[in-house]
């Protein structure tokens, strides 16, 4: 067996790729380092979602331009193309140190907005400039933190750890956004940003307590050479190559379609106004949070590859079905299940990536994975 057939069967072996099962619901929290990283990730995610809502609303109110609001949202992920280079850096230096530096940048930039807010001199152009700097490094936080989890958590607990880590992001989209909206509407942008800066600072303090089992990084070569070697490593490993292809598919179709079409579904199919749209967004996040918690605790999967492929298919099928019903109740249920399917697909994908990749390549693999976002 050689050539294309060999590549096909190698790729299909992902469906039988064995995953670890954990005997305890919260096994990852038995790891001291993970407990600190979970707390750090949770506060960082909440602060980010609070910032996104506060600044998004500020831009909309001060400019009255949906186009500028969309431009602001895009700035939050402007650094996606830089993620592979941060992945190279994560393989060359201590990953905990890199995570602390990244979150220190977020806290510093948030502190600048806090000072401007206290002085009463916040302007939209300042928000755009600061958001552009933050957006350059923000996507790399995801790559570094998942690689760091794999450094500190045993393989048997990795699914549990990744599930709870993703839950920090899902919970932030619900509670972090609500907290930011509440503080902003009642106390103003100054007090709201005081809370944001406080969350970032506590997140950094917790990150200092993270320890890893990672061996000393190998002798460094030129960054470009290491980046090329990361792509070559993926190309040689059919399991990684297949996962990356599925990641690109999911992020090219699943995420943009459902997030981009939610306003149209709410107005044209379900007859909702902007408040109804807000409920649909919240239900999507609730489903994702539920999926993360179930995957982390109750669901035992010996073949995460099969689970990943199955739920990617279900996810896309549900997106198609969601436009076929005019019932608000049916739409709410479908949107919630779509969020559930996202987590059931994405968490096994992350676990497979980190379990398959060699320790010395985890930073680059996670960084390249972010290119699909």
What is the tens place of the pLDDT at every residue in 249-283? 887 777 766 666 677 777 788 887 766 777 887 88
Lowest mean pLDDT across 10-24, 53-67, 90-104, 208-222: 10-24
Enclosing domain of residue 34: 25-212+220-370
Residue 10 lies in a domain: no
Whole-structure pTM value: 0.80
The pLDDT of residue 202 is above 80: yes
SS (H, E, C) 186-220: HHCHHHHHHHHHHHHHHHHHHHCCCCCCCCCCCCC
Assigned domain for 100 exists? yes
**Within a domain: residue 12?**
no
Q: Which two three-digit tokens encode residue 227?
A: 């980046």
List, as one string, the DSSP characters of 37-94: HHHHHHHHHHHHHHHHHHHHHHHHHHH--HHHHHHHHHHTTTTGGGHHHHHHHHHHS-
Residue 276 lies in a domain: yes
The first and second tokens of residue 140, run together, are 């790399």
Residue 16 in domain: no
Q: How many domains does the chain have?
A: 1
- The pLDDT, as a whole number, for residue 220 is 59
Asked if residue 6 is part of any domain, the answer here is no
The predicted pLDDT at position 216 comes to 54
> The domain spanning residue 362 has which CATH number?
1.20.1250.20
107, part of any domain: yes
| Predicted pLDDT at 295 | 86
Is there a domain that residue 15 lies in? Answer: no
- At 308-353, the pLDDT tens digits run 889 999 998 998 888 787 888 888 899 999 999 999 998 888 888 8
């Amino acid at each position: 067996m050689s050539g294309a057939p060999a590549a096909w069967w190698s790729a299909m072996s992902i469906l039988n790729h064995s995953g670890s099962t954990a005997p305890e619901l919260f096994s990852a929290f038995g790891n001291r380092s993970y407990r600190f990283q979970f707390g750090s990730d949770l506060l960082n995610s909440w602060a980010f979602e609070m910032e996104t809502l506060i600044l998004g609303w500020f831009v909309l109110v001060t400019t009255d331009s949906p186009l500028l609001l969309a431009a602001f949202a895009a700035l939050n992920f402007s650094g996606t193309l830089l993620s592979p280079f941060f992945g190279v850096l994560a393989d060359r230096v201590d990953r905990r140190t890199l995570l602390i530096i990244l979150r220190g940048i977020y806290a510093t930039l948030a502190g600048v907005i806090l000072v401007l807010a206290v002085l009463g001199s916040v302007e939209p152009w300042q928000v755009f400039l600061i958001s552009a700097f933050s957006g350059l490094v923000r996507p790399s936080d995801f790559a570094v933190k998942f690689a760091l989890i794999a450094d500190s958590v045993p393989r048997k607990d990795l699914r549990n750890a990744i599930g709870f880590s993703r839950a920090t992001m899902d919970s932030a989209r619900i509670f972090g956004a609500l907290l930011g909206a509440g503080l902003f509407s009642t106390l103003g942008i100054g007090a709201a940003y005081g809370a944001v800066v406080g969350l970032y600072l506590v997140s950094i303090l917790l990150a200092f307590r993270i320890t890893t089992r990672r061996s000393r990084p190998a002798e460094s070569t030129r960054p470009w050479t290491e980046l090329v070697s990361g792509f070559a490593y993926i190309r040689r490993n059919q399991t990684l190559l297949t996962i990356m292809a599925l990641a690109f598919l999911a992020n090219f179709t699943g995420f943009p379609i459902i997030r981009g079409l939610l306003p149209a579904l709410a107005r044209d199919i379900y007859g909702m106004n902007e408040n109804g749209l807000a409920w649909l967004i919240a239900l999507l996040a609730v489903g994702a949070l539920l999926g993360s918690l179930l995957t982390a605790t109750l669901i035992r999967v010996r073949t995460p590859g099969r689970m990943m492929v199955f739920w990617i298919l279900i996810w896309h099928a549900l997106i198609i079905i969601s436009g076929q019903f005019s019932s608000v109740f049916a739409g709410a249920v479908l949107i919630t299940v779509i969020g559930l399917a996202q987590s059931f697909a994405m968490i096994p994908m992350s676990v497979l990536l980190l379990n398959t990749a060699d320790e010395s390549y985890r930073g680059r693999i996670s960084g390249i994975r972010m290119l699909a976002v």
